[in-house]
Amino acid sequence: MNPNDNKNNKNNKPGGNWRGVASLVGWALLLTIIFSYASSVIGSTGRQASSINVEYGEFQEMVESGQVARVEFDNAEDILLITPEEGYSYTAEDGTVYTKTEDGYTYMDAAGQEQTAHLELFTVRIQSNDAVIDFLNEYGVEGVDKEYQAPVNPVLAMLVSYVLPFVLIFLMFSLVMRWMAKKGGMGGMGGIGGVGKANAKVYMEKSTGVTFKDVAGQDEAKESLTEIIDFLHNPQKYTEIGAKLPKGALLVGPPGTGKTLLAKAVAGEANVPFFSISGSDFVEMFVGVGASRVRDLFKEAAKVAPCIVFIDEIDTIGKSRDNRMGGNDEREQTLNQLLAEMDGFDTDKGLLLLAATNRPEILDPALLRPGRFDRRIIVDAPDLKGRVDVLKVHAKDVKMDETVDLEAIALATSGAVGSDLANMINEAAINAVKNGRQVVSQADLFEAVEVVLVGKEKKDRIMNVEERRIVSYHEVGHALVSALQKDSEPVQKITIVPRTMGALGYVMQTPEEEKFLNTKKELEAMLVGLLAGRAAEEIVFDTVTTGASNDIEKATKVARAMITQYGMSQKFGLIGLESVQHKYLDGRPVANCGEETAGEIDKEVMKMLKDAYDEAKRLLSENRDALDKIAAFLIEKETITGKEFMRIFHEVKGIPENEEKTQPSRIGMKEETSQDVIVLPDMSEENKDESINE
């Protein structure tokens, strides 16, 4: 039997062809309607946007003053089309002045740039054509009276507007469907959109425009990738000693640290074909499509080896195949195919797989074992030196004055990733332009730090007198306790100006140097400082507000971590009661204890926070005179510097100038711009509003 007979029988089923034709007709009709409607809307919109109705009396004044060069009669709509003389000016309702030129109408846009528009002035004809022509002749204006044109036959108009486009679209669909059938139908590699074909972007040599010079703050990651690139270029150096090229390298780190940028830099440095694709590109609603795309990707890569294949967000397809988490046939098939392909290709050909993720804990163990991803390259938040290097990279094309000290900014932004620092540089440049300057200053950079971390100043938010007093005492409470404690960071700025991210006020503090560890005393001092705002409210006003919600949340988190993770509790000792999940994302802790123990942990947290709160009230009560004076000064000024704060504090305490404890200076810090990272954003508007609503 001829194998094609079955295909023919399928195609010759009763009604099969008719269903196909009906489908084509339906699609063609739908597209025709959409096309016709869009054409009419666009035509009417264009006419409305460019046409200006001039009152007939104003038209007569224009003719009499010699401002009209030509008038055309539109007898179909009974209007007069006016062509003014060059130099004629028309003022729109929004105040924009349009001046007639040879090429159209010129005007100034919002940016102060000259633009050209094409306008059409018309007026409704009130008098007869003969009367209008006599009037125009009297003032030497050219008048063109077009013959009246009868309207188009409606049948002919329908044929041209609807039937003809329908026929053309139907023919086009027929040709496309026939071409697709010859290529293997909808399910094959040549189907609609190439369903089973991988759509990876291919970069050759330095086409990405990014090299390792553009990546800063990730020296260890660059070193690991440099070794891999060298292996691709000079494999004999490694094979002679018996080394094998790693099959894969996994880039792991928080969002914004530069994982994708590193991959693009590899493409720029490798001088070999570089395939880049996202994990989501493998996922489709049809089962088997993802696996087909994986096969196609590695097939194409093998043809041009040596090369590099980069899969971004690999956790999309590489999730653990744990049935308890619920299965997904498409994802599992895609992952199985990826594992098979990684086992199948020979590293001697120089095919290397790179992948990036910020959720390594959810990846399938089979994907992470040696022989598949041999290297795990950590791309973490940069340290102080790394942040300085990142800032230099992003600031190289930005004009800056002599006051700029990037090391001071780096120290002020502990914990910031590369994308945060790039955003700060850009915000500083925007702020300089907004203020009419040609270069970026240190003040612009510190303001950008504030904008990124707590938002812009909310100038339209005006607090009443009582709220200003509460917020002022709240923030001064934080600052004063920090100044009184030995293990606290020095205050650099206090403000009660609201910000767009919800803070009604905040205290800015800076460390003497970057720290990677915190002592128990430092954490205890942190708890006292966090709760000092609420303590100041209770001492001064004999009541409390909702403004301390953010402080309480932070203090609770620190106290719980001290007990469950750091082993700083006498009651529980050295036992891990919580573990951190999603380290590179939200870092949410997960309890590793029973309900009874969890209840005891809560009691220990409450005790620790109560002790810290009592200590804060004690310190503030003993220094009530300093609290009142500094708060009064802050209410008057709204924003004060750390030096002003310490000057008032020492005046109240009677400490001579030579005995004043000097503020720790940062690396290259300029005195006039001693501002830093926001540590204590307080007085949340959201919490305040929620309280009111309740």
627 touches 540 (CB < 8 A) = yes
Whether residue 306 has a cis bond before it, omega within 30° of 0: yes
210 touches 265 (CB < 8 A) = yes
Q: Is beta strand 120-124 parallel, antiparallel or unpaired with respect to 51-53?
A: parallel
| Positions marked active-site | 475
Task: Identify the CA nearest to 250 among candidates 343, 167, 372.
Answer: 372
Which helix (H) or strand (E) covers residue 191, if one does?
Answer: none
Two tokens at 595? 């309900």
Instruction: Report how far residue 222's alpha carbon sits from residue 192's, in angstroms, rounded to the nearest whole number.
Output: 41
Angle between helical axes of 4-11 and 16-50 (0-180°, round to 10)? 60
Q: What are the b/e assignments for 385-421, b being 16+ CB within 10 Å?
A: ebbbbbbebbbeeeebeeebbbbbbbbbbbebbbbbb
501 touches 507 (CB < 8 A) = no
Partners of residue 53 on adjacent β-strands: 122
> SS3 of 82, please?
strand
Provide the 10 A C-beta neighbour count for residue 246: 19
Task: Identify the CA nearest to 129 among candidates 78, 163, 67, 69.
Answer: 78
Task: Identify residue 577 by its one-letter amino acid code.
Answer: L
In sequence order, which residues have a C-beta less than 8 Å from that of residue 549 and are 6 or more positions away? 684, 687
The end-to-end CA distance of the chain, in Å, is 81
Instruction: Report how far residue 351's alpha carbon sits from residue 179's, in angstroms, rounded to the nearest whole number.
Output: 35
DSSP secondary structure letters along 428-483: HHHHHHHTT-SSB-HHHHHHHHHHHHH-SB-TT----HHHHHHHHHHHHHHHHHHH
601 touches 577 (CB < 8 A) = yes
543 touches 537 (CB < 8 A) = yes
DSSP secondary structure letters along 635-693: HHHSEEEHHHHHHHHHHHHT--GGGPPPPPPPTT--GGG----EEEEEEEHHHHHHHHH
Partners of residue 277 on adjacent β-strands: 311
157, burial (CB in 10 Å: exposed 0-12, middle 13-18, buried 19+): exposed
Instruction: Report how far residue 685's alpha carbon sits from residue 694's, in angstroms, rounded to the nearest whole number.
Output: 14
